[in-house]
């Protein structure tokens, strides 16, 4: 067994306990933020400095998390996801770079397997609101995702998107709301 596999196994074992510790904002958190960050460094493909991985999260081992970024409590990050620096993620977000196949109508969908993984990329300086869902192949440039949004396509630089499916609400560097687009 190579060293990284051993580190990941140890990290996953420790994270079982770390993920149950109080949230980092709790007055009594027993060093949970530092402990979960240590586990993240053991498990993830890459994990930056001063990260915040909150209580109850799940993340795949091929996740990359940048410096000063956070994963919100009870969030799920599956498969290949790259998260840049200074990214804020609220509670219960879901990032899922894979999907079921469903093209063959002669067979049930649960017997068709999965589409190839399409990585999700989140650039630096992004805010993702609570319960946002980000689907396969999406690239979020510097910007924001409103709470509850379902992001099905790329988010342009400095755009704030919201809704189901997500659409541009406005741009961070402009106060005007986009209507009818």
Query: Both tokens of residue 109?
Result: 């969908």
Q: pLDDT at position 79, please?
A: 87
Chain centroid offset of residue 163 CA:
18
Q: For the chain (length 181 residues), average pLDDT per consecutive 10?
A: 90 96 91 96 97 97 97 96 98 94 92 93 98 97 96 96 96 68 49
Q: pLDDT at position 153, please?
A: 97
Give dist(CA 65, CA 174) in Å, integer.
29
Nearest partner of 87 among 140, 46, 166, 23, judged by Cα: 140
Alpha-carbon separation of residue 53 from 1, 40, 66, 85, 99 (angstroms): 27, 8, 12, 14, 25
Query: Both tokens of residue 122?
Result: 């989140």
* Candidates 2.160.10.10, 3.40.50.720, 3.30.420.10, 3.30.470.20; CATH matching 3-171: 2.160.10.10
Q: What are phi and psi of 109, to 5 degrees?
A: -60, -35
Q: pLDDT at position 42, please?
A: 97
Q: pLDDT at position 174, please?
A: 75
């Amino acid at each position: 067994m190579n060293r990284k596999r051993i580190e990941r196994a140890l990290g996953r074992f420790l994270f079982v306990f770390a993920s149950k510790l109080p949230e980092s904002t709790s007055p009594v958190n027993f060093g949970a933020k530092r402990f979960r960050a240590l586990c993240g460094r053991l498990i993830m493909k890459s994990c930056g400095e001063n990260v915040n991985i909150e209580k109850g999260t799940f993340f795949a081992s091929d996740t990359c998390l940048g410096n000063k970024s956070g994963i919100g409590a009870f969030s799920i990050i599956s498969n290949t996801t790259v998260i840049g620096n200074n990214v804020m993620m609220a509670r219960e977000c879901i990032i899922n770079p894979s999907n079921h196949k469903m093209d063959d109508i002669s067979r049930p969908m649960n017997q068709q397997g999965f589409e190839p993984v399409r990585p999700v990329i989140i650039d630096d300086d992004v805010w993702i609101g609570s319960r946002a869902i980000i689907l396969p192949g999406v690239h979020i440039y510097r910007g924001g995702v409103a709470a509850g949004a379902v992001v099905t396509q790329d988010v342009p630089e400095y755009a704030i998107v919201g809704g189901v499916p997500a659409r541009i609400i406005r741009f961070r560097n402009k106060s005007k709301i986009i209507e009818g687009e």
